[in-house]
Amino acid sequence: MDAELFRQAIIKFLSGLLLVGLLLFLPAGTWDFWQAWLFLGILFIPMFFAGIFMMKKSPDLLRKRLNVKETEADQKQVILMSGLMFLAAFLVAGFNRRFGWLILPEWVSFAAAAVFLSAYALYAEVLRENAYLSRTVEVQKDQKVIDTGLYGIVRHPMYMTTLLLFLSMPLVLGSAISFLILLLYIPIIGKRIRNEEKVLEQGLEGYSAYKEKVRYKVIPFIW
């Protein structure tokens, strides 16, 4: 096992857990926020076991997923906008719990949790299909176009799954206002996709033909 990779993964995991917990419970002003506990459980427990699996079976892929140092100016803007979006959504969810602005019914949280976990399973399948997946927009050495499985349905199945994940998050937390905030992910990811496809067309052989073959970017028959 790569000790340095393990250290990086554990630090990012624990810092993420701490940050999200603080963003939810501090504005809520209470630990009695069961939707937040549910959310932390379905987000971080699968993440922990997925990280262990990748550490053993695909450390190179894990290393790529931990790398968030973008070189493209457009992608730096996307990361900034995404960070601000999540910051606002989590804080609002906490304040929503404290002040009872617009609390969704309990069944919505449980239904959204089921959608979230299903999207997590799709996320794992995308990682299995595409060993070139990185959190930065780049063309890697010896990279090839993947056109099987989910990649035969939409060109960006990773964004399809993150769309499901991110839009179900505020519903798990019971906050309709946070859901409206996270709808901003749609134009944000649209900006990222435009830049990413430009980079791939310029640097990845066969990608232009793949775009002709698979018409839809994120949602079959819609987008």
Element (DSSP H or E) covering residue 40: helix 34-57
pLDDT at position 207, please? Answer: 81
Residue 219: inside a domain: no
pTM equals: 0.84
How much is the pLDDT for 2? Answer: 67
Count how many domains the chain has: 1
Residues 114-167 pLDDT 10s? 999 999 888 888 877 776 665 544 555 556 777 778 888 888 888 999 999 999
In degrees, rounded to 5, the angle at the alpha carbon of residue 80 between the alpha carbons of residues 77 and 85 is: 125
Residues in the chain: 223
pLDDT at position 72, please? 59
**Kind and range of the H or E element at 153?**
none
* Residue 21: inside a domain: yes
Residue 184 lies in a domain: yes
Whether 129 is in a domain gets the answer yes
Per-residue pLDDT tens listing for the chain (223 residues): 567 777 778 888 899 999 999 999 999 999 999 999 999 999 999 888 877 877 777 777 666 666 666 555 666 777 888 889 999 999 999 999 999 988 899 999 999 999 999 998 888 888 777 766 655 445 555 567 777 788 888 888 889 999 999 999 999 999 999 999 999 999 988 888 888 888 888 877 788 888 888 888 888 888 8
C-alpha dist (Å) from residue 76 to 83, 140, 195, 203, 215:
11, 19, 11, 20, 27
Residue 189 to residue 163: CA distance in whole angstroms: 9
Give domain status of residue 207, yes or no. Answer: yes
Domain that holds residue 97: 3-213
CATH number at residue 156: 1.20.120.1630
pLDDT at 137: 47
Does residue 98 contact residue 29 with C-beta atoms inside 8 Å?
yes
Give residue for tokens 């239904």: 111
pLDDT digits (tens, 9 = 90+) for 28-39: 999 999 999 999
Q: Is residue 221 part of a domain?
A: no
Q: Tell whether 222 is covered by a domain.
A: no
- Strand, helix or coil for residue 175: strand
Kindly state whether residue 97 falls inside one of the protein's structural domains: yes
DSSP 65-122: HH-----SHHHHHHHHHHHHHHHHHHHHHHHHHHHTSSBPPHHHHHHHHHHHHHHHHH
Predicted confidence at residue 115, as pLDDT, reads: 96
- Residue corresponding to tokens 């340095």: 4
What's the rounded Cα separation, in Å, for the pair 171 and 188?
20
CA angle, 58 as apex, 11 and 198 as ends, to 5°?
Answer: 90
Pairwise CA distance, residues 111 & 95, whole Å: 22
